[in-house]
Structure 1
Amino acid sequence: MTSLVLLLDPLPADTTPTHVELESTMRFVAANEPILTALDAGAGRGDGIFETLGAHDGQVRGVDAHLQRLAASAEKLDLPAPHSDQWRSAIVRVMAELPSDGQASIRLTITRGTDAAGPTCWVTGTAITAEFPERTAGVRVVTLSRGYANDVGESSPWLLVGAKTLSYAINMAALREAKRRGADDVVFTSTDGFALEGPTSSLLVRKGNTISTPAIQFGILAGTTQADLFGFLEGEGFTCDYRKIKVEELHQADAIWLVSSVRLAIPVTEVDGQTISTDLGLTGRMNAALLS
């Protein structure tokens, strides 16, 4: 499907532009128009960051949370801080050109660009017409080691865990490995035996009336959809917490979900070949809450 592309001339984060000045820093380009040079660090090295937001019936979910995470990723990569009002205006511009009903995906991208020109920044918007049968059918997952201990974010910050970078080759390789093993998705694990997250999703694990997600200080990307769901689930009477989750807890769970901005809450039906119980009623309410 054709996507809208809005190119941005990045503003310094500490400036206070007028509305007219903001609008003058962005322009739509054709989806097939080249916007990167061959020397752009994003293309040559995967050196950059991005965020993907979901939208439904003209409303974008979690704009503030995604912009905060974009800024946090920029700081980890020593990129210039994004101007939040500029990116917020860009999201509004793109949404105004998309259909006002149905679902859509909004992606924010910043590369390091080139030494001469600086960062390259753009927003894409894509209307989603495909269904997501996995929201009810669920997915089978395998656990795959990420190759480092769960505290690597604190001991080795240069590995950029917890930043949403363009360097997704490992994540995509993990998903291909899952397919080779007859599964649909992945839960990454640490070398010291803890569950982390999916290649493109956050992990929720239910035991009784408690729903847990791995604590972000242990190398986990802060989950915007997960945070929204915790607010909903607490209203449903569940206790929600952030903690270390041992891999073996996945096999003992009452329910597991992978959650993300576009696919939303996906129930896990199998972990490493072992069947996991699902709660389709709760899953349906979770997705309805996210879409409302």
Structure 2
Amino acid sequence: MSVVRNEISLLNGGNGTKGSALAHVIGAYVALTKPKIMVMLIVTAYSAMMVAGHHVPSILLTVKTLLGLAGSAGAGAALNMWYDRDIDGVMERTSARPLPSGVVSARAAFLFGIALAALSTVFLAVTVNGLTALLSLAGCAYYVVVYTMWLKRRTPQNIVIGGGAGAFPPLVGWAAVTGHLSWLAWLMFAVIFLWTPPHFWALALYKNEDYVRANIPMLPVVKGFRHTKIQMLVYTLLLFASTLVPCFFHGVTLVYTTLSLILGIGFTTLAIRCLMEPDHSMVWARRMFFGSLTYVPVWFLAIVIGSRGMF
């Protein structure tokens, strides 16, 4: 609390009201958790809970699971911003984040992240089950240690390997309902894992200058736009193939197959148009990025409504 009080006093600077300064600091701590990304993680976890149990899970289990997951995801985001505060200040896309803008100190962000990680892990272990807590903590650690600290500044394959961090929530949701994991839970993991490279590389294409300034070895910086676009198409095709796997089993309906085909063809078309686009133009790169934002929630909706026994 003393850290927050210090930050409020710095923001006041003798002017304004304590109420407005407190609201500003609270908003900054919320921003540390990357709430927009958190929504996507919660959607995938809840979808997995529904498919795992073949019904809508109880409100109590849902609240406990998603609250714990939100805490763990927020912890990872806060620790990511703590570690990346130097490059965040250089990149236009991230320069307004709480640490580069000076609203939250590095020490406060670090303590906030550690506290959230510890509390969310204990909460899930006590109120849900041990496997759920372990998977949630593993996702947080993967994002902070494997991706942020180890890969991001060292290799153009950073987002390929690091993409596994965002794929943990379906495992968390599945484990919360069943206490174990199945092949379908791992398929959900694989879908997010394979979706991440084309999603993030599309962003990296039209934000390339940011990564050049920050000296981050994203694929477009190291290998060029043409190579990146080819890799985007490769991962898009692998993603498409992975979404068709359930169609060969009896666990999904024609609704799922139809939606998966529409999604796969649409996303592949975006990747092809991006590849065909001249490298100086970013029209289709932007369209692919924004299109990718709808891909994951729509696919998880498809697996929910297209699973046999759900409705």
Give the TM-score of the pair, scaled to structure 2: 0.28
Which protein is richer in strand relative to its size? 1
In our comparison, the structure showing a higher alpha carbon Rg is 2
Give the TM-score of the pair, scaled to structure 1: 0.29
